[in-house]
Chain A
Amino acid sequence: DAKTTQPPSMDCAEGRAANLPCNHSTISGNEYVYWYRQIHSQGPQYIIHGLKNNETNEMASLIITEDRKSSTLILPHATLRDTAVYYCIVRVATLGSRLTFGEGTQLTVNP
């Protein structure tokens, strides 16, 4: 699986957009970009994933650069409950392929 690089921590004001970057310069053509988050002492929560097109769901938007070497997760209106560790993971879409977690980004949303 391709390695990802994320900043260790970020801060965001409540109500503002949180933009979390991820570099995955060695991504292969058949690898998807997945985003998860983990709130303290809970299991990770799936947020969104994509291959090359931008994606949006009720939680967030995922912007993937044209060369696919980086992506940005956007939480449009961050709330205090969005404070968590956010993980960007690349994975080949096969049935048995696993997710390998890096260190992630600790996002702190401030009042």
Chain B
Amino acid sequence: GAVVSQHPSRVICKSGTSVKIECRSLDFQATTMFWYRQFPKQSLMLMATSNEGSKATYEQGVEKDKFLINHASLTLSTLTVTSAHPEDSSFYICSAREISEYSPLHFGNGTRLTVT
């Protein structure tokens, strides 16, 4: 089955630094990837849609200059949390779909970000 790999699984960083999270589709190509964020005891919230070769589309209330998304190839999207602050501590999850509108979204195992 389709596999989405996310790295790192956990990261701890100091306030003010930047963190990059990678999302790879291992055995399929994905023109579109999605980035979600999940706070404790809450559901997943969509942050942005990452489009290969073009700019990402951000959901309302998500700062595009803070959460930089790059989708440089059909198998890799990255999310960079810039100038991280403790309130950015969360569980970040990426997902991707094979190039078919009927295919389900497949999710990575998430990245637990802790900003100290």
Q: Which residues of A are in contact with B by a Cβ distance under 8 Å?
A: 32, 34, 36, 38, 41-46, 49, 87, 93-104
Q: A42-B109, A100-B46, A102-B43 are in contact. Are A95 and B99 (CB under 8 A)?
A: yes
Q: Are A101 and B107 in touch, CB under 8 angstroms?
A: no
- B residues contacting A by CB (< 8 A) are 4, 6, 31-32, 34, 36, 43-46, 49, 51, 91, 93, 95, 97, 99-102, 104-110, 112
* Known interface pairs A94-B101, A95-B32, A96-B32; A101-B112 also in contact (CB < 8 Å): no
Seed contacts A32-B102, A49-B104, A98-B49; 11 additional CB < 8 Å A-B pairs: A42-B109, A42-B110, A43-B93, A43-B95, A44-B107, A93-B102, A95-B100, A96-B51, A101-B43, A101-B44, A101-B45
Partner of B109, one of A32, A43, A96, A102: A43
In the complex the two chains form, what is the Cα distance from A16 to B31 in whole Å?
Answer: 41
Q: Is the interface of B mostly helix, strand, loop or mixed?
A: strand
**What secondary structure prevails in chain A residues at the interface with B?**
loop
**Given contacts A95-B32, A95-B101, are A43 and B107 in contact (CB under 8 A)?**
yes
